[in-house]
Chain A
Amino acid sequence: MTGAAGSSFRERAEVQLANARMRANVAVAVDQRERGRRAIFDGLDHAGLVGAAQAIRDHTLARLDRYLGEFARNAEARGTKVFFAADAAEAVGYVRDLLAARGVRLVAKSKSMVTEEIELNRGLAEFGAEVVETDLGEYLVQLAGEAPSHITAPAVHMSRGEIAALLSRRHGRRLPEDPEALTGFVRGVLRETFLAAGVGISGVNFAVAETGSFVTVTNEGNGRMVTSLPPVHVAIMGMERIVPSFRDLGLMLPMLVASSVGRPVTAYLSFVNGPRRPGEVDGPEEVHVVVLDNGRSAILRSAYRSVLRCIRCGACQNVCPVYRQVGGHGYGSVYAGPIGAVVTPLLQGRDRAGDLPFASSLCGACDEVCPVGIPLSGHLLGLRADAVRGKGLADPETAAWRAWAAAWRRPETYRLTGLVARLGQLPLARGGRISRAPFPLSRWTGGRDLPAAAGETFRARWERRLRRG
């Protein structure tokens, strides 16, 4: 399901491009999100806000070891258990052992990208646990056996008709194609899950070093349910998801929410300071936090460190012309869009997802909307350069570019290439277009027409006009 291995971006993109309804749904959704984002920052000093948010993130990343240590000490002082996981296996193993120790079979989970990254649900299902996603979009995607297609709108690719059919089939009753009725139905189903689950699993939007607290950001309230109703709460966080103090959240929370959904705050900013205190009426008896590396520390040392500033708002996906066409599934990875094209090869390895940085027009729209100033198009270019440097001179594409550069360096050979092109296209050009060309040009003409070269060169035409003039 996750992981780019097994198919290339090109293959996945072809499948997605043929799905006209998915593309229409995604276009409507991302445009709505981007309009909201623009409107809320209208009249504010966006560049100044980005500069400040970037400084907080860079400061934190540069002292990440200290802030993580401080977070763990303070969380433990308030009764939270903190586990550091080097990779996905360690993180999944910790949760699995916890379920075994508590004899828990049913888990209620709120939306979390990092749990997708480590394929936690699969790991727990293999162990026999039932993990129920409780964010409405994630629940639908889980029922359909698919992967989320957008960071903050996981079921953005599904229409209400598809959703009604899916729920009707899975629950054995006819449900109307009405968002309100469908949402109400799922509310009832999941309410039972919240109350019956032995463990609640959430992500972490920000963790606060000074107190060992953390916060989940949701509109639905499922984050609040998952962290309040089951007797055990486990939160999983990428190790970069930390801020030094609550004061920083005064900036980072609105930057996240406004960039994501065009509002100053979501319905629930739910903080966790540890397990239920003596005297409190309710809340979990145990709170665990799993801090995950899984390839992040290697990024710290690289030229791509600034991708760890990412606060997972999804704004870059909403403006990306490639994401708009292929949707989240085109990327074949948990993280899609520009941020996914950068971070996936870094986390999974260039051999598995090395083609993703090429899935970009480098238009730079993502750079402009990123609330923490990640130079996404620059990183995409850097990853491409790394990939090409790794290929060596024997590569046919490299050889072709070198030959082209050599030919165009001298007037005689430059003119010769023009002559070759004009003669070579004769059997191919129809009405000034080339719709079908032999390999390797077929890679271009398979999706687009190539304009035919004019019969007369500019130079020849210019000389003719001069003679006439």
Chain B
Amino acid sequence: MDRTAFLRQVRGELRGTRAPERPPAWPATPASGSARGPAAVLAFLEALAGVGGVGRAVARQALAAAVTAAAAALPEGAGRTAVVAPDTDAWREAIDAGLAAAGVEPVRPAPDGWREAAAAAGMGITSAALGVASTGSVLIVPGPNTPRVAGLLPEAHLVLLPADQLVPGLEEAMPVLASLADRSSAPVLVTGPSRTSDIEMVTVFGAHGPRRLEVLLIG
């Protein structure tokens, strides 16, 4: 249908209606939070554990050991490769050393090789733009250095996030999401592993996306 006609019809049905103002503020929602600093780290780890995710606060020097532990926990039958997104290059040495210690091979595909490599990989490693302390969510922002498939197709997703990038609650993530409208085609807030309870309300992890989600908060 012609757009102008469509909107004109809607306008016609609304003639004479007054719009109430939008609320300037609202009470705390189930996703609101107030924790900052070390308290935010604790809140984040607790919330993430509550949805079946794994979170650890690690010092930068201990990053390699944490990567080893994450890779060692790969689900049985998962591929022994890890696709590594370029957005984690700041931690490259620690990642490669950590994976090597667990016997997992790091793979950094060319842009057109990502889908195939990620589908075969046991683990995908990416960074996140921020974390939400109250919910245990991480914001993944696809771009030239962050393929979407890195956190979607492998059996496990390992997320590296500087601990100072936590915001207290979901409301505080919204201005960031708004600002990404011109920078990324599809940001995603990920909270715990993929799951379903469609069969008799029993929770099962790994419905379609990663069965295991681990977040390392780097302090």
- Write the residues of chain A forming the contact surface with B, with a CB cutoff of 8 angstroms: 25, 28-29, 32, 40-41, 44-45, 48-49, 51-53, 55-56, 58-59, 62-65, 68-69, 72, 74, 78, 82, 84-86, 90, 134-137, 140, 153-156, 158-160, 163, 179-180, 182-184, 187, 190-191, 194-195, 208, 210-213, 219-222, 224-225, 227-229, 239, 244-251, 253-255, 257-258, 263-277, 279-283, 291, 293, 297-298, 300-301
The answer to whether B189 and A269 have CB atoms under 8 Å apart is yes
8 A–B contacts, CB within 8 A, in A order: A247-B178, A249-B177, A250-B171, A254-B30, A257-B30, A276-B185, A282-B147, A283-B186
The answer to whether A274 and B200 have CB atoms under 8 Å apart is no
Chain A residue numbers with a CB within 8 Å of B11 are: 65
Stretch of B55-63, B94-102, B134-142 at the chain-chain interface: B134-142
Partner of A179, one of B7, B10, B184, B204: B204
Chain A residue numbers with a CB within 8 Å of B178 are: 208, 210-211, 245-247
The answer to whether A283 and B142 have CB atoms under 8 Å apart is yes
Partner of B195, one of A156, A210, A220: A220
Chain A residue numbers with a CB within 8 Å of B132 are: 265
- Write the residues of chain B forming the contact surface with A, with a CB cutoff of 8 angstroms: 1-3, 6-11, 13-14, 17-23, 25-32, 51, 111, 114-115, 119, 132, 134-135, 137, 142-144, 146-149, 152, 170-171, 173-175, 177-178, 180-182, 184-202, 204, 206-210
Chain A residue numbers with a CB within 8 Å of B114 are: 281-282
Chain B residue numbers with a CB within 8 Å of A84 are: 1-3, 6-7
The answer to whether B175 and A264 have CB atoms under 8 Å apart is no
The answer to whether B186 and A265 have CB atoms under 8 Å apart is no
Partner of A282, one of B1, B2, B13, B142: B142
- CB closest chain-A residue, reference B26: A52
With contacts A221-B209, A266-B191, A267-B193 known, is A272 near B199, CB below 8 A?
no
Chain A residue numbers with a CB within 8 Å of B8 are: 65
Chain B residue numbers with a CB within 8 Å of A250 are: 29, 31, 170-171, 173-174
Residue among B115, B196, B209 facing the most chain A CB atoms (10 A cut-off): B196
The answer to whether A135 and B198 have CB atoms under 8 Å apart is yes
The answer to whether B204 and A254 have CB atoms under 8 Å apart is no
Chain B residue numbers with a CB within 8 Å of A82 are: 3
The answer to whether B170 and A264 have CB atoms under 8 Å apart is yes
B62 CB to closest chain A CB, in angstroms?
A: 28
The answer to whether B29 and A281 have CB atoms under 8 Å apart is no
Chain A residue numbers with a CB within 8 Å of B182 are: 78, 273
The answer to whether B199 and A183 have CB atoms under 8 Å apart is yes
Q: How far is the CA of A63 from the CA of B7 in the complex (A)?
A: 11
The answer to whether A244 and B22 have CB atoms under 8 Å apart is yes
A178 CB to closest chain B CB, in angstroms?
A: 9
Q: How far is the CA of A45 from the CA of B186 in the complex (A)?
A: 33
Instruction: Using A59-B22, A160-B200, A229-B149 as known contacts, list a sample of 8 further A-B pairs with CB atoms less than 8 Å apart, ordered by residue number in A.
Output: A28-B201, A155-B198, A183-B207, A219-B207, A257-B30, A266-B191, A283-B142, A291-B6
Chain B residue numbers with a CB within 8 Å of A297 are: 9-10, 13
Chain B residue numbers with a CB within 8 Å of A245 are: 178
The answer to whether B149 and A228 have CB atoms under 8 Å apart is yes
- CB closest chain-B residue, reference A220: B207
The answer to whether A45 and B6 have CB atoms under 8 Å apart is no
The answer to whether A136 and B207 have CB atoms under 8 Å apart is yes
The answer to whether A281 and B142 have CB atoms under 8 Å apart is yes
The answer to whether A224 and B7 have CB atoms under 8 Å apart is no
Chain A residue numbers with a CB within 8 Å of B10 are: 64-65, 68, 239, 293, 297, 300
Partner of A55, one of B14, B18, B22: B22
B151 CB to closest chain A CB, in angstroms?
A: 9
Q: How far is the CA of A257 from the CA of B191 in the complex (A)?
A: 13
- CB closest chain-A residue, reference B47: A264
The answer to whether B170 and A45 have CB atoms under 8 Å apart is no
With contacts A52-B27, A264-B134, A267-B192 known, is A283 near B14, CB below 8 A?
no
Q: How far is the CA of A301 from the CA of B202 in the complex (A)?
A: 43
Q: Top 6 A-B pairs ranked by shortest CB distance? A: A221-B209, A62-B19, A52-B26, A220-B207, A137-B198, A250-B171
B108 CB to closest chain A CB, in angstroms?
A: 12
Chain B residue numbers with a CB within 8 Å of A255 are: 29
- CB closest chain-A residue, reference B169: A250
The answer to whether A273 and B180 have CB atoms under 8 Å apart is yes
The answer to whether A258 and B30 have CB atoms under 8 Å apart is yes
Q: How far is the CA of A298 from the CA of B9 in the complex (A)?
A: 9
